[in-house]
Amino acid sequence: MHTIILFVKARRSNCKYIPYEWNTVVEALHRYNPSVKLIKVNWKPPDTGWVKINTDGASKGNSERSSWVFCVRATTGYIFFSFLRRDKAIQTTQSEKPDLRNMENQKER
């Protein structure tokens, strides 16, 4: 039971109360309803003759693996180059800031 409680704490960190009987744990997990914030973001094309490079990074905390991705799009939205990289554990803020030199190296390949 101790392992289940540790699992619930790790996966459902917003749970305020974690019961210690199995049936109650299952009920609590079924009733658990985390709040989700949804933000719609629309892509805007670059001016004619230009390209747009979109980047994003993610990290599962500051001690887990991270990754980042970028893509190059034309005015029409056509993606003519993209790249994904998984990294060792780095700080969350670093995962949001991909290394532009690595992008250039990949472009030349």
Q: What are the residue ranges spanned by the domains of the chain?
A: 2-31, 52-108
Q: Is 81 left (phi over 0), alpha (psi -120 to 50) or beta?
A: beta
**What per-residue confidence (pLDDT) applies to 78?**
92
Going across the sheet that includes 66-73, the strands are 52-59, 66-73, 79-87
**What per-residue confidence (pLDDT) applies to 25?**
72
**What per-residue confidence (pLDDT) applies to 45?**
92
**What per-residue confidence (pLDDT) applies to 47?**
92
Q: Give the helix, strand, coil percentages of the chain, each rounded to 5.
A: 30, 25, 45
**What per-residue confidence (pLDDT) applies to 83?**
86
Low-confidence ranges of the chain (pLDDT < 70): 1-2, 4-5, 7-20, 60-64, 89-109
pLDDT in tens, 32-58: 777 778 888 888 999 999 999 888 877
Please tell me the distance from the alpha carbon of residue 57 to that of residue 68, in angstroms, as a whole number: 4
